[in-house]
Chains A and B, each alone.
Chain A
Amino acid sequence: MERPGVRASERGQEAGPVVYRHSITTRITHWLTALSILVLVMSGLQIFNAAPYLDASGLTNPAHRVLAIGAQQQPGGTPRGTVTLFGHTFTTTHVLGYTDDGMGGEAPRAFPGWLTFPGYQDLAGGRRWHFFFAWVMVLCGAAYLIVGALRKDLPLIVLRPSDLPKMLPMQLYYFGLRKEPPPHGKYNPLQKAGYTVVIFVLAPFLILTGLALSPGVDAIAGPLTTVLGGRQFARTWHFLAMLAIIAFAFGHVFLVVSTGFFNNMRSMIAGTYRLGKNEGTGP
């Protein structure tokens, strides 16, 4: 039976049965986490702007500077915005370094006002939004893990050794070099790999690298900061982890759109989902 709004034939998927895919907990925590990541990235860039550089050393040390975003005064013109990455300087005027001040003008600041939360320079405000949504994200993660474990659907997303040989065929299917995906459960082997890394590696790493920046946490859990290479190194790791979660978000949205947008969106809003070819509901 066809339902309106479902394009079951997209990407060669044949109309399978409609199943209940995502619990209400998963759906709510998914969207709250998505909102949190957006605000955390933007407020994080606001915080970064207060010290627009990253060092690969425990203490602030220009000799180990990995990234610096700045502005240089030029004789009789607008300042030049620059990004210095591993000692190589690029001109980035109007985008980075000297850019949108969030109030309709331009000013020396690392990330532009349209990318920061709030738009204008306000470290105190950025910190408040950052910590608020850090809690939202952590609590959502905890709710997702606990409810998932109780409902026994959490293990379905975890990559298992038996998934490994199916990863290449799945990738070939995504590239259009294979007609059908390999038989799989609720999540295909590449989804499992991606989500396993994000949920169990990247998200904890983001939280831990963020906590390591806090002097109060350092006094309680000193080894954490030490393992990360010190407070400034932890800041660099935190930034890199942010880039990783942004990369994930772009890849995620691309796949949501390209593998049956309406069906995918329905599963994360209403919970129901029409199975595709070789797609199941198990592990």
Chain B
Amino acid sequence: MKRRLFVAASISAALAGCARVTNSLNDSTSLQGLLKVPDALDRALIGTRGMAKLYGEADIDQNFPTNGLDTPSDPGYMGMAMGNFATYRLPVSGLVDNPQTFTLAQLRAMASLTEITRHDCVEGWSVVGKFGGVPLAQVLAMVRPKREARYAIFYSFDRDQSGAQFYGSIDLVQAAHPQTMLQLDLNGKPLDPDHGAPVRLRIPTQLAYKSTKWVQRIELASTFKNVFGGQGGYWEDNGYEWYAGI
């Protein structure tokens, strides 16, 4: 019996050692640079090419799941939601020749894209929905990005428990992709607060963590290094890849 206990204790110590080794490798700051090498390779190889697959009405999941951070609960957002977002304004500014602020009604008038596409979560699940909204390229054409603009940065109304603001960024190639949209509708109905109302970014060619919910404002910039954690997004600041086509 003693011997068996000893064997069990040795095995569990060895197994705990496994996690200790992999944890410390994962925590090593000197390896972080090396681990980011594939990002550039993946982006060069896959990049923003091709079109996301289109699905049929029968594939639509009416119970579209929610994931990620909780719906904003601050009085500002809640009050706006109570009023059906009539007071919502979307400023698009930064490195543009013609900065603009859109009302929800203006955006609705511009909505010309409805597609049934797949929403791929980084966790490994996928669900199909009908996404309706304004092609982002159309908004860009109106604000006229300056030559030095390279990225569109999306600031969200949402904050995590520590108070960090949610944000994300894409390059202007992805922004101009014909399937990238400012989503207003999900499955034929206006977005509800849990799904990112009133405006959510929608990028079917990348993982859904790039599709920023509750878009508060859009800024065009030459870099995102000076924004919050400097990695180009809330999830990126938390270790996820900036390029999420993979």
The distance from the CB of B175 to the nearest CB of chain A, in whole angstroms, is 15
Contact A124 B239 (CB under 8 A): yes
Interface flag for A197 (CB, 8 Å)? no
0 or 1 for each of B105-126: is its CB under 8 Å from A? (1 = yes)? 0000000000000101111111
Q: List A contacts of B235 (CB < 8 A).
A: 124
Whether A217 sits at the interface, judged by CB under 8 Å, is yes
Which residues in B have their C-beta under 8 angstroms from that of A213? 120, 124
**A47: Cβ under 8 A from any B Cβ:** yes
A contact residues, total (Cβ < 8 Å): 46
What 0/1 pattern do residues 226 to 241 of A give for CB contact below 8 A with B?
0000111001000000
What class of interface size applies to chain B in its complex with A? Answer: 35 or more
Residues of chain A with a CB closer than 8 A to B36's CB: 128
Chain B residue with the shortest CB-CB distance to A225? B53
> Which chain A residue shows the least CB distance to B128?
A59
Q: Which residue of A lies closest to B46 (CB)?
A: A216
Select the stretch in A67-75, A97-105, A188-196, A250-258 that faces chain B.
Answer: A97-105
Are A231 and B120 closer than 8 Å at their CB atoms?
yes
| Distance A225 CA – B126 CA, assembled complex (angstroms) | 13
Enumerate chain A residues within 8 angstroms of B196, measured Cβ to Cβ. Answer: none
In the complex, A102 Cα to B19 Cα: how many Å?
A: 5
A50 contacts B124, C-beta separation under 8 Å: yes
B205 at the interface (CB under 8 A from A): yes
CB pair B204 A215 closer than 8 Å: yes
Indicate if the CB atoms of B123 and A114 lie closer than 8 Å.
no
Contacts of B23 in A (CB 8 A): 102-103, 118-120
B11-49: which have CB < 8 Å to A? 15-16, 18-20, 22-23, 25-27, 34-38, 41-42, 46-49
What is the CA–CA distance of A231 and B26 in the complex, to the nearest angstrom? 28
Contact, CB under 8 Å: A215 / B34:
no
CA distance A116 to B219 in the complex (A): 39
Determine the chain B residues whose CB is within 8 A of the CB of A216 once the complex forms: 42, 46-50, 205-206, 245-246
Give me 13 other A-B pairs in contact (C-beta within 8 A), A47-B124, A214-B245 excluded. Answer: A48-B124, A50-B124, A59-B127, A114-B15, A114-B18, A118-B25, A120-B19, A128-B38, A214-B46, A215-B204, A219-B49, A221-B50, A222-B53
Give the A-binding residues of B (Cβ under 8 A). Answer: 15-16, 18-20, 22-23, 25-27, 34-38, 41-42, 46-53, 59, 61, 118, 120-128, 204-207, 235, 238-241, 244-246
Residues of A that sit less than 8 Å from B by CB: 42, 47-48, 50-51, 59-60, 100, 102-104, 112-120, 122-125, 127-129, 131-132, 134-135, 213-222, 225, 230-232, 235
